Amino acid sequence: MVVVPLSKPAKVETAPPTEECSNLVTMVAAASLAAGGALVATGKKRAGLVVAAAGTALVMVDQQEEVRRLWNALPRFLAELQHFVGRVQSVLDDVSSQREKLHKIFER
């Protein structure tokens, strides 16, 4: 009986994604977003939303740093938006009170 030593499998090294691979993912993501929009426009809303969601997921995987930066900036943006809405509400309240005053003047 002969014993044959088994060699260890060679380690497979994964290379970092190349720019060509990143461009391919970007193109596929853009195509799926466009296809999703076309499906929604033709009345196939559920299929369009699924395809668009897949495209969005691809974009988020491809652009992780950009998504992280936007996610971290979101609270500041929402605070600014809330401040802006408060200012608009204040202006609308002023306009409403002026309108009431003018209405009372012209009603006489």
| 51 and 68 both lie in a single domain | no
Cβ-in-10-Å burial (0-12, 13-18, 19+) of 40 comes to: middle
54 belongs to a structural domain: yes
Same domain, 54 and 93: no
The position carrying tokens 């195509």 is 31
Question: 14 in a domain, yes or no?
Answer: no
Domain that holds residue 88: 64-108
Residue 105 forms part of a structural domain? yes
pLDDT of residue 67: 85
Query: Looking at the structure, do residues 57 and 74 belong to the same domain, yes or no?
Result: no
Is residue 13 domain-resident? no
pLDDT digits (tens, 9 = 90+) for 12-67: 565 555 666 668 888 888 899 899 999 999 999 999 999 999 988 888 888 888 88
* Amino acid 64: pLDDT: 85
Q: What is the DSSP string of 87-99?
A: HHHHHHHHHHHHH
pLDDT at site 60: 85
pLDDT at 62: 81
Specify the higher pLDDT residue, 81 or 66: 81
The reported pLDDT for the residue numbered 89 is: 96
pLDDT given for residue 36 in this prediction: 93
Assigned domain for 5 exists: no
Query: Does 78 lie in the same domain as 58?
Result: no
Considering the domain boundaries, does residue 9 fall inside one? no
Whether 71 is covered by a domain: the verdict is: yes
**Do both 58 and 79 map to the same domain?**
no
Total count of domains within the chain: 2
Q: What pTM value is reported for the model?
A: 0.48
